[in-house]
Amino acid sequence: MISNIEKRVLKEALYMIETKKTLREIAKVFNVSKSTVHKDLKEKLKSIDNVLYEKVKIILNEHIKVRHIRGGESTKKKYLKLANSSVKK
């Protein structure tokens, strides 16, 4: 019998494979912390379904490769928002 945790891990993995979403985005969808999703997909999934784990691992590695770009985009948006709000005052 599959436990609730194993069901959640499998759902998170399938969701990531279908959507290519980040850990933070998946955490919001499943209403758990980013750390929980990370542990689910990096540790628990390997013992539950190794084939899914390998697919998720590829996506996680892609996210690691582009995280510096995503971070830069977030910072750019933050300062543009601050600049626009100070101009309106």
Classified as helix, coil or strand, 45 is helix
| Mean of pLDDT values over 45-50 | 95
**37, 12 Cβ separation under 8 angstroms:** yes
Q: 36 and 64 in contact (C-beta within 8 Å)?
A: no
Q: Which residues lie below 8 Å from residue 26, measured CB to CB, with a gap of 6+? A: 12, 15, 16, 37
Task: Look at the block and give the residue holding tokens 């996680």.
Answer: 60
Q: Is the pTM of this model over 0.85?
A: no
Host domain of residue 59: 4-88
Question: How many structural domains comprise the chain?
Answer: 1
Do residues 38 and 23 make contact, with C-beta atoms less than 8 angstroms apart?
yes
Alpha-carbon gap, residue 76 to 83, rounded angstroms: 11
pLDDT tens digits for 10-32?
999 999 999 999 999 999 999 99
> Tell me, what's the pLDDT at 83?
83
